[in-house]
Amino acid sequence: MEFESYFPIWDKLNKQQQERIKNSLAFRQVKKGTIIHNGNMDCTGLLLIKSGQLRAYILSDEGREITIYRLFDMDVCLFSASCIMRSIQFEITIEAEKNTELWVIPSEIYKSIMEASAPVANYTNELMASRFSDVMWLIEQVMWKSLDKRVAAFLLEESAIEETNELKITHEIIANHLGSHREVITRMLRYFQNEGMVKLSRGTVLITDEEKLRELSK
Amino acid sequence: MEFESYFPIWDKLNKQQQERIKNSLAFRQVKKGTIIHNGNMDCTGLLLIKSGQLRAYILSDEGREITIYRLFDMDVCLFSASCIMRSIQFEITIEAEKNTELWVIPSEIYKSIMEASAPVANYTNELMASRFSDVMWLIEQVMWKSLDKRVAAFLLEESAIEETNELKITHEIIANHLGSHREVITRMLRYFQNEGMVKLSRGTVLITDEEKLRELSK
């Protein structure tokens, strides 16, 4: 499968627009852990994921992190091209959570097509609305949900993504996803272990009672 | 001044689009405290504020509130027309914080113009990006900033909006803006009073040391 079949609005572009994108496109293979974009870097461009997994997060002045959203196969990352819109005034960091293959559409090319094309502009709207919904969900989580529920929900999400109950993940990484501290997560996971929901070993969280964890996460 | 001079992209509409909007437009005067839109209601439409002040907030299951953003003269409220985009999957409540005069553009009219017009779609993009930036700012506040700084910043913001140091505001309303509890805000304000930054009386917070409050808010 090639770019044309991955890019959701390929058929809505005219021949000339298709040519411009094809001729400016870059294909990249990035290793797990690579920082693909951060707020201070140049405007990287739109990312279309062929395969892999990306994480978008924000950083505090003190270096704390919280995950804003994650992207998977066929997803498009808009905020790595934040310079295409004047009103985007925040900085996001994007990191490969797995080895990832992706296409980069240069920001200036996408911008000039979007300015002329209603379908591309409306597609961009839907992309942004979808990320907006992720962020609103996050605010609700952070504001109204206690950390035990958020940790439980995160473990279940990871288990669904990785298709296993044996999660290879450190307490620090969980803390960085949830905007918490490692020590707090460790304490929480030990409590989960006492309750029989997980079993902890070095670098691994084994989910032993998914049902109970799901009940807690509600 | 009439609608044409308030609507930022009037000149980018063609004659037929201008006619459609003019013929479907409603002008409303709403009293302070009116709920103009909530997530469960029908899709109200785009709101263009002639004069007044609106507040967009979310509600928890338990009835707690947190302000997402505020809108002033000439601002456009997009999420009261959330049905124009499939990917908007969150519920926002919009309330008049002051007596407000506004125009309502019906959602289906705006949607059909946006789908055909690149300038309107791109304008919508900028609107959403601007609200997105507000929400990202809010996440940073909630995640990384302690409540004392947030209360200080809120009092200064209110003082700037109202152009007075004598704020007619209850502790409950402050709590609803910040997603906190009345008791917590009361305790915080009493601490501010002890430090000489404010003077409290029934329904009023008087800012007595703006400099010190600003220093704290940083």
Contacts of A66 in chain B (CB under 8 A): 139, 143
pLDDT tens for each residue of B59-115: 988 888 999 999 999 999 999 998 898 888 888 999 999 999 999 999 999 999 999
Q: How far apart are CA A150 and CA A192, in angstroms?
A: 13
Cβ–Cβ < 8 Å for A82, A38: no
- Give the pTM: 0.88
Question: Which residues on chain A are in Cβ contact (under 8 Å) with B140?
Answer: 58, 60
Interchain pair B144, A60: CB under 8 A: yes
**Tell me, what's the pLDDT at A38?**
87
A interface test, pick of B136, B141, B146, B150 with most A CB neighbours within 10 Å: B136
- The beta strand positions in B41-97, using DSSP E, are 46-51, 54-59, 65-71, 76-77, 93-96
Q: Which residue has the tokens 């700012």?
A: B137
CB–CB contact B66 A139 (8 Å): yes
**Total Cβ atoms within 10 A of residue A179:** 23
Confidence at residue A88, expressed as pLDDT on a 0 to 100 scale: 87
Cβ within 8 Å of residue B50, ≥6 positions away:
B6, B73, B74, B101, B102, B103
**In chain B, which stretches have pLDDT less than 70?**
1, 40-41
End-to-end CA distance of chain A: 39
A70: part of which helix (H) or strand (E)?
A: strand A65-71
Predicted confidence at residue B41, as pLDDT, reads 67
Q: How far is A123 from chain B (nearest CA, A)?
A: 9
Of A76, A134, A141, residue with least CA distance to B90? A134
Nearest to B87 among A62, A130, A179 (CB): A130
Residue in B50, B128, B49 with CA at minimum distance from that of residue B84: B128
* Secondary structure (H, E, C), B97-132: CCCEEEEEECHHHHHHHHHHCHHHHHHHHHHHHHHH
Of the CA atoms within 13 Å of residue B90, those in its CB half-sphere come to 24
What is d(CA B25, CA B46) in angstroms, rounded to the nearest whole number? 10
Say what the pLDDT of residue A161 is: 94
Which residues of B sit within 8 Å Cβ distance of A?
Answer: 58, 60-62, 64, 66, 68, 85-90, 114-118, 120-122, 124-133, 135-140, 142-144, 179
Searching chain B, which residue's CA lies closest to the CA of residue A113?
B118
Find chain B residues with C-beta within 8 A of A76's C-beta.
Answer: none
Chain A CA closest to residue B59: A140
Quick check: A96 pLDDT over 90?
A: yes
Minimal Cα distance from B143: which residue of A? A179
- How sure is the predictor about A86, in pLDDT bands with cuts at 50, 70 and 90? confident
Which residues of chain B are within 8 Å of residue A86 when distances are taken between CB atoms?
Answer: 126, 129
Cβ–Cβ under 8 Å, residues B114 and B120:
yes
Q: Which residue matches tokens 């009940």?
A: A215
Cβ within 8 Å, pair A87-B143:
no
User: B129 and A88 in contact by Cβ < 8 A?
Assistant: yes
DSSP assignments along B17-34, one per residue: HHHHHHHH-EEEEE-TT-
Q: What local confidence, expressed as pLDDT, does residue B39 receive?
A: 77
Average pLDDT over residues A187-195: 93
Torsion of CA A103, A109, A114, A116, to 10 degrees: -150
Give the pLDDT of residue B1: 60
**CB–CB of B125 and A126 under 8 A?**
no
Q: How many Å lie between the alpha carbon of B13 and the closest alpha carbon of chain A?
A: 13
Cα–chain center distance at B36:
12
Note the pLDDT tens digit of each residue in A2-13: 999 999 999 999
- Report how far residue B1's alpha carbon sits from residue B152's, in angstroms, rounded to the nearest whole number: 37
Cβ of B136 and A58 within 8 Å? Answer: yes
* Cβ-Cβ contacts under 8 Å, A138 against chain B: 139
Q: How far is A216 from chain B (nearest CA, A)?
A: 17
- Which residues on A lie below 8 Å from B62 (Cβ)? 144
